[in-house]
Amino acid sequence: MLKSLEEYSPVELRHLIREGKYTKPTSGLAAGYTQANLVILPKDLAYDFLLFTQRNPAPCPVLEVSDAGSRKLKEFAKDIDLANDFPKYRIYRKGRLDEEVTSVESFWRDDLVSFLIGCSFSFESELIAAGIEVRNITQKVNVPMFNTNIPLKKAGKFHGNMVVSMRPIPEKQVIKAVKVTAAMPKVHGAPIQIGSPQHIGIADLQRPDYGDAVEIKQGEVPVFWPCGVTPQNVIMQIKPEFVITHAPGHMLITDVKNTSLKYE
Amino acid sequence: MLKSLEEYSPVELRHLIREGKYTKPTSGLAAGYTQANLVILPKDLAYDFLLFTQRNPAPCPVLEVSDAGSRKLKEFAKDIDLANDFPKYRIYRKGRLDEEVTSVESFWRDDLVSFLIGCSFSFESELIAAGIEVRNITQKVNVPMFNTNIPLKKAGKFHGNMVVSMRPIPEKQVIKAVKVTAAMPKVHGAPIQIGSPQHIGIADLQRPDYGDAVEIKQGEVPVFWPCGVTPQNVIMQIKPEFVITHAPGHMLITDVKNTSLKYE
Please judge whether A50 and B46 are an interchain contact, meaning their C-beta atoms are less than 8 angstroms apart. Answer: no
Q: Are residues B113 and B145 in the same domain?
A: no
Is B63 in the A-facing interface, judged by CB distances under 8 Å? no
Q: Give the residue ranges of chain A where pLDDT is below 50.
A: none
Q: What is the pLDDT of residue B245?
A: 94
Please judge whether A67 and B264 are an interchain contact, meaning their C-beta atoms are less than 8 angstroms apart. Answer: no
Q: Of residues B31 and A215, which shows the higher confidence score?
A: A215
Q: Are residues B101 and B114 in the same domain?
A: yes
- Residue-wise pLDDT tens digits, A127-181: 999 999 999 999 988 899 999 999 999 999 999 999 999 999 999 999 999 999 9
CB neighbours of B68 closer than 8 A, spacing ≥ 6? Answer: B43, B46, B110, B111, B112, B113
**Closest residue in chain A to residue B43, using alpha carbons only:** A47
Please judge whether A54 and B65 are an interchain contact, meaning their C-beta atoms are less than 8 angstroms apart. Answer: yes
Does the residue A125 lie in any domain? no
Q: Are A37 and A233 in contact (CB under 8 A)?
A: no
CB neighbours of B30 closer than 8 A, spacing ≥ 6? Answer: B8, B9, B10, B13, B253
Q: Are residues A97 and A193 in the same domain?
A: no
Does the residue A128 lie in any domain? no
* Cα dihedral B158, B162, B163, B169 in deg (nearest 10): 160
> Which chain B positions have a beta carbon within 8 Å of A55's beta carbon?
65
Percent of chain A exceeding pLDDT 70 equals: 98
Does the residue A39 lie in any domain? yes
- Mean pLDDT of all residues in B1-27: 91
Q: Are residues A148 and A81 in the same domain?
A: no
Confidence of residue B116 (pLDDT cuts 50, 70, 90): very high
Is B54 in the A-facing interface, judged by CB distances under 8 Å? yes
Please judge whether A55 and B47 are an interchain contact, meaning their C-beta atoms are less than 8 angstroms apart. Answer: no
Please judge whether A263 and B55 are an interchain contact, meaning their C-beta atoms are less than 8 angstroms apart. Answer: no
User: Considering its fold, how many domains does chain B have in total?
Assistant: 2
Provide the shortest C-alpha distance from residue A216 to chain B (in Å): 28
Q: Are residues A107 and A41 in the same domain?
A: yes
Q: Are residues A162 and A206 in the same domain?
A: yes
> Which chain B positions have a beta carbon within 8 Å of A47's beta carbon?
43, 46-47, 50
Does the residue A126 lie in any domain? no
- Provide the ipTM: 0.86
Range with lowest mean pLDDT among A116-120, B20-24, B122-126: B122-126
Does the residue A127 lie in any domain? no
Is A192 in the B-facing interface, judged by CB distances under 8 Å? no
CA angle A25/A40/A119 to nearest 5° reads 45
Distances (CA, A) of A41 to A47, A91, B236: 10, 11, 29
* CA B200/CA B171 separation, integer angstroms: 20
Quote the domain boundaries for residue A225.
134-231
> Which chain A positions have a beta carbon within 8 Å of B50's beta carbon?
47, 50-51, 54
Does the residue A129 lie in any domain? no
> Which among B54, B185, B189 has the least Cβ separation from residue A50?
B54
Please judge whether A51 and B51 are an interchain contact, meaning their C-beta atoms are less than 8 angstroms apart. Answer: no
Is A111 in the B-facing interface, judged by CB distances under 8 Å? no
Q: Are residues A90 and A146 in the same domain?
A: no
Confidence of residue B200 (pLDDT cuts 50, 70, 90): very high
DSSP states along chain A: -PPPGGG--HHHHHHHHHTTS--S--TTSSTTEEEEEEEEEEHHHHHHHHHHHHH-TTTS-EEEEPPTT----SSS-SS--TTTSSS-EEEEETTEEEEEES--GGG--TTEEEEEE--THHHHHHHHHTT---HHHHTTSPPPEEEEEEEPPPBTTB--EEEEEEEEEEGGGHHHHHHHHHT-GGGT-S-SEES-GGGGT---TTS-SBS------TTEEEEEEE-THHHHHHHHHT--SEEEEEPTT--EEEEEEGGGGS--
Q: What is the pLDDT of residue B263?
A: 66
Residue A92's φ and ψ, nearest 5 degrees, are -110, 135
Does the residue A198 lie in any domain? yes
- Mean pLDDT of all residues in B49-54: 96
Q: What is the pLDDT of residue B264?
A: 53
Q: Are residues A92 and A147 in the same domain?
A: no
Does the residue A213 lie in any domain? yes
Q: Are residues A106 and A178 in the same domain?
A: no
Report the CATH number that the domain containing residue A150 is assigned in CATH: 3.30.2040.10
Q: What is the pLDDT of residue A263?
A: 66
Q: Are residues A97 and A187 in the same domain?
A: no
* CA A132/CA A173 separation, integer angstroms: 7
Average pLDDT, chain A: 94
- Mean pLDDT of all residues in B80-90: 97
> Which among A50, A74, A264 has the least Cβ separation from residue B47?
A50
- Give A31: exposed, middle or buried? Use CB within 10 Å, 0-12, 13-18, 19+: exposed
Is B192 in the A-facing interface, judged by CB distances under 8 Å? no
- Residue-wise pLDDT tens digits, B127-147: 999 999 999 999 988 899 999
Average pLDDT, chain B: 94
- Mean pLDDT of all residues in B48-66: 96
- Mean pLDDT of all residues in B27-32: 86
Q: What is the pLDDT of residue B50?
A: 97
- Count of other CB atoms within 10 angstroms of residue A247: 18
Q: Are residues A101 and A184 in the same domain?
A: no
Q: Are A73 and A116 in contact (CB under 8 A)?
A: yes
Is A50 in the B-facing interface, judged by CB distances under 8 Å? yes
| B217 has a pLDDT exceeding 90 | yes
Helix (H) or strand (E) holding B234: helix B229-237
Q: Are A82 and A63 in contact (CB under 8 A)?
A: no
CB neighbours of B218 closer than 8 A, spacing ≥ 6? Answer: none
> Which among A47, A153, A264 has the least Cβ separation from residue B50?
A47
* Separation of CA B121 from chain center: 8
Is B179 in the A-facing interface, judged by CB distances under 8 Å? no
- Count of other CB atoms within 10 angstroms of residue A50: 25
- Supply the DSSP symbol for B210: B
Provide the shortest C-alpha distance from residue A141 to chain B (in Å): 31
Round the CA-based radius of gyration of chain B to a whole number and report it: 18
Is A149 in the B-facing interface, judged by CB distances under 8 Å? no
Please judge whether B182 and A67 are an interchain contact, meaning their C-beta atoms are less than 8 angstroms apart. Answer: no
Q: For helices A43-55 and A229-237, what crossing angle results, to 10°?
A: 130
Is B62 in the A-facing interface, judged by CB distances under 8 Å? yes
Q: Are residues A113 and A18 in the same domain?
A: yes
Sign of CA dihedral A160, A161, A162, A168: negative
Report the CATH number that the domain containing residue B33 is assigned in CATH: 3.40.1640.10
